[in-house]
A and B are shown apart, each in its own frame.
Chain A
Amino acid sequence: MRLGSDPYIQIEAVRKVYPDGVQALSGVTVDFRRGEVHGLLGENGAGKSTLMRILFGQIKPTGGKILIDGNQVSFNSPHDAISHRIGMVFQHFMLVSSFTGFENIMLGLGTGKGLRSEQDVRKSSENLALRLGLKVNLDETVENMPMGERQRVEILKLLVRNVDLLILDEPTSTLTPFETDELLKVMRRLKEEGKTIIFVTHKLREALSACDRITVMRKGARVDTVEAKSADLRSLALMMVGREVLPEIRKGTPKLRDVLLEVRDLVALSDTGNEALKGVSFQIRGGEIFGIAGVAGNGQKELVEVITGLRRAKSGAVLVGGTETTTKSPRDIYDLGLAHIPEDRLGRGVVLPLSVRDNLLLGLQFRPKFEEHMLMKQGAIDKNARDLISTYSIAATEDTPVRSLSGGNIQRVVVAREFSKSPRIIVASQPTTGLDISATEFVRQELLKMRDDGKAVLLISSELEEVTGLSDTMAVIYEGRLAGFKRPEEFSAEEIGLMMGGAKVEQ
C-alpha cells in the first residue's frame, strides 16, 4: 500500500455513446495510482461523471477496457465494482432518509449465513469513524443529519465494505465551507491509510490543494494529467475551458431600451436549506441578452425559480417591468410578460403524455384568446397549434403525444410556446442542452431575434460558448455569487475559467 507509480487502475480508450447518439466519452485513457488523491476536473458535460459511473459499473462503456492491477475487468453492476473494492459517493446521496446512519450502513450487508453480524459491523464502523475522524452519530436518523454528516455516512458505508478506491463525485457541492475543510482532512487521513481517492470536481482551488495529480477533461476527452505540485490555477482554468472560447461575433450592436428585469441583492435557499444565492444583483434592458455562465449547481436553478415565482426568496427583490414580483405567483408573473424556457425540459417544460396541441397551450390556458366562460376555444387552440407547428418547423402533428418527439422537437415546442406568449422578458435556462446542432442553432437564432425585437433576455447556460457567443453582457456564477459583468469579448478564456472554478471572485 505504498504510493507507487505502478498503475492501480488503468482506463484505456473508454468510449461511451448513448442510444440517442450522443457521444459522452470519445476514447479516454487515464490511470490512477495506488494511494493517491486524483482530481478529475472539468465543466458540465466534460464526461467526468460518465467516466466514473463506468468505473463504478453503473453504466456500460461502448468500447475500451478497464484494468485493475493489470487484469482486465468488466463490471455489470455496482456490486461487481464493490467486490473489486471500488466504491462511489454520489453528489446526491443514496441513503434511506428514514433509517439511522447505522441502518444505512447495514443495508445490504444482511445478517444471514456467511454475512457479517450486526455487532461486527457496528464495531468496525465505530473503529473506522474514530480512526479517520468521521464524526457520525450512528443512531441518528439520516433526515435529521446535516449534509456533511450524511456524506460521512456514505463514506463510512463504503469503508465498512472494504473498498480501496473511493470515487467522490462533486463531494463539496452540498457542503458548507467548514464541512468542506473537514472533508479535505478526512481525505488526507484516508490517503494515509493507503486508500485511493478520485476527487471529481470543478473547483480549481480544492483540486489543487487536495490532490496529488489532476486530470482535466473537456468535451468527453482527457486534456491532460498533471502533477498538482507543478500546476497552477491559470493553467488548469485554461485547460478546463479550452482556448477557443472567444465569442463569435454574429450580432449587431444592441439597441438598448428601458430596464425590464431587475434583481436586487437576492438571497435564496436551496431545497436542502443551504444558501444557494448569496446576494445576486443585475439589470437587463430591453434589446439585450444578459448571460450567466458557470458550472451547474452554483445557484442557477434557484435564481431562475425565484425570478419565475416558483421559489420564494429569503431576501432581496425581483422587479419585472418595474413591478415587484418577489411574492407573486407564477401566473401573475407571466401576466407581466415573462416567458420561461426551463432547464428541466421533460420534468417541467412539457407534459409528456399530452399532445403537442395541449403542450403548446401550457401556461396560456387562462388567456381570453383560448378561454371563454371556462370552456376552451377549440378552434383557436387548433389554429394556434397548427400555426406554431409550421412557424417553428416542429416535426409532428397537433395530436402527437409529446412523449414520442425527439429532444430537439420537444425544445422547439417549448420555445414556440414561450415565444407565442408575446413576452417582454425571456428567461432561458440551459436552452440547448442535449440538442443536436441544427436544433441548437435554431434556439440560439430565436433568442437573438427576440433580443433584436427589443426584449430582455436572461440566458443561463453551462455551455460557455453559448454565453460568450450570444450575450451582450455576461457574468459568471460561482457558489451563489455573480462576478464579471463585462462584454464577453473583454474576458480572457483564463479569466472565465478561473471564475468558474471559484479562484477569483470580484464584483
Chain B
Amino acid sequence: MSNRFGISREKVNKVLQSVAIIVFGFAIGGIIMFAVGYDPIAAYSAMFFGSKEKGMQGAFGGIFGILSTIREASFIILTGLAAQIAFSAGVFNVGIEGAMYLGAFVSFMCAYSFSAPAGSVLGVLGALLSILAAMIAGLLWMSIPAFLKIKRGAHEVVTTIMLNYVATSLTELLVVKFFLPTTGVPPGGIVTPLISRSAMIPQIDFMGGQLNLGFIPTIIVAIIAFIVMERSVVGYSIKVVGSNPNAAKYAGIEVGRIILLVMLAGGAMGGLAGAIAVQFTEYRFDQAFSPGYGTSGIPVALIGRLDVVGIILAGLFIAALHIGAQSIQPVTGMPSQVSLLIEGVIVFSASMPGAFDLLKKYIKPKGEKNE
C-alpha cells in the first residue's frame, strides 16, 4: 500500500481531503463577499498577488510580500510544531502563546544586559545564550501546567489559557514598571529599548527585500521534530499515549513522563519563537509583537494533520492568508472586518479534518458490547 517514498494511500487521501475542504472554505468566503457586494475574484487575486497600481503585493505578488509571508510562517510553523507534539500525545496544550511571551522577555533581558563587540566570538555566544535562555524560560513556564496536570489532574486547557493571560500581563507589567520610565511611552506602544547590537541577528538584503533569518531555527526544529516523531522510540511512545493511554501503560510506557516531555518541549519551542521575535525581528520587546502566533499554532497543526511536512505547508498557507488579507482592503475597498471574516472562515474550515481526527479518539469503535 505504500511505495518506496513512504507515501501511503491514507496520506494521499488526507491531502486530497484537506485540499478539497480548503477549496470549499474559499468558496464559502467568496459567497460571503459576493453577498456583501464585493467581487470575490478581485479580492482573492489581491490577497495572493496584490495590485501594482495600488502598490500592494499580497502574499506572493512581489519580493516584499513573499518575504513577509516567510517571516510570518517561521513563527507559526514553530508554534504549530509545538501544538503538534502535544496533540500527538493527546495533550491540548494551548499555552504556547504564554511561553512565547515569557521567552521573548527573557531573550530581551539577556540580549539587553549583555554587551560585546558585534560579530566577535563573545557576541555570537551571547546571542546564542540569549536564545537558549528564552527556550529554558518557556520550558520552565510550561512546567507549571505540566505538573498541575500530572500531579493534580488539572486540565491543561484551563491552566494554559489562564497562564497565557498571566504571561502577557506579567511581561507588560515588567516593561511598564522598569523600562517605560526611561523611554517614556513612545508612539509605538509598550516597548523596551533596543537590545545590544551583538545580540541582534541581522536581516539579510535579498533581491531588494529584507530576509528575516527566523526561518533557520524553525527549519532546524522541524527537522528535529520529524526525526523525533517519525523515527524515534519517543515519538512512537508519544503516538501510543495520544491514541490510547491504556495501551501505553500496558506497553510499559510511562504516560506521565511523556505528557511532561511534550509540554516542556512545547514550552521550549514557544520560548524560541519569542527569541525570534526579539533577536531576529524587532530587536526589542514589544508588548504587541504577536498577532496570536501561539494560538495560530493550533490551526496550523490541525491543517497540517499532525504531520511535520503538512505543518510546514499549512504554516505557509496561513501566513499567506494573513499577509494577503492585508492587501484586500487597500485594493478592493472591502472593509478589513470582512477580509478578517473571510480569513477566519477559510482557516476554520481547513482545520476541520484535523479536528475530526482528534475527535475520533473520543468516539468508541463500533462492535463493543456487553454480553
Contacts and interface: CB of A to CB of B under 8 A. Distances in A.
Nearest to B252: A331
Interface stretch (A318-326, A347-355, A386-394, A437-445): A347-355
A486 to B, nearest CB: 29
Given A50-B371, A401-B10, A354 B250 contact: no
Contact of B247 (A331, A350, A374, A407): A350
Interface stretch (B91-99, B236-244, B260-268, B310-318): B236-244
Contacts of A358: 236, 239-240
Given A310-B249, A348-B250, A363-B250, A376 B236 contact: yes
Interface string A331-354: 100100000101010111111111
Interface of B: 1-2, 8, 10, 227, 231-234, 236-237, 239-240, 243-244, 246-247, 249-254, 360-361, 365-371
Contacts, number: 98
A371 B371 contact: no
Given A18-B369, A401-B10, A375 B232 contact: yes
A371 B233 contact: yes
B250 A349 contact: yes
A25 B1 CA distance: 40
A350 B251 CA distance: 10
A351 B371 contact: no
7 contacts: A47-B371, A48-B371, A49-B370, A330-B252, A354-B239, A363-B252, A374-B234
Contacts of B370: 49
Residue of B231, B237, B365, B367 contacting most chain A CB atoms (<10 Å): B367
A375 B231 contact: yes
B240 A354 contact: yes
Interface in A286-308: 308
A335 to B, nearest CB: 9
Given A366-B233, A399-B1, A346 B239 contact: no
A422 to B, nearest CB: 16
Contacts of B234: 374
A19 B243 CA distance: 26
A97 interface: no
Nearest to A333: B252
A52 to B, nearest CB: 9
Contact of B252 (A329, A342, A401, A407): A329
A403 B244 CA distance: 12
Contacts of B2: 399
A44 interface: yes
Given A24-B371, A49-B370, A351-B240, A374 B250 contact: no
A362 B248 CA distance: 8
B250 A342 contact: yes
Contacts of A20: 367
B236 A348 contact: no
B233 A352 contact: no
Contact of A363 (B251, B365, B366, B369): B251
A18 B252 CA distance: 35
Nearest to A381: B236
A334 B246 CA distance: 16
Contacts of A363: 250-252
B232 A352 contact: no
A347 B246 contact: yes
A42 B42 CA distance: 73
Given A20-B367, A358-B236, A374-B234, A330 B249 contact: yes
Most chain A beta-carbon neighbours within 10 Å: one of B247, B249, B254, B360: B247
A403 B246 CA distance: 16
Contacts of A407: 367
B371 A330 contact: no
A355 B94 CA distance: 28
A351 B367 contact: no
Contacts of A401: 10
Contact of B250 (A19, A46, A340): A340
Contacts of A366: 233, 252
B250 A310 contact: yes
A45 interface: yes
Contact of A353 (B231, B243, B251, B368): B243
A361 interface: yes
Contacts of A50: 371
Contacts of A330: 249-252
Contacts of B8: 399
A185 B253 CA distance: 48
Interface string A470-501: 00000000000000000000000000000000
Contacts of B369: 18, 24
Given A374-B232, A375-B231, A376-B231, A352 B240 contact: no
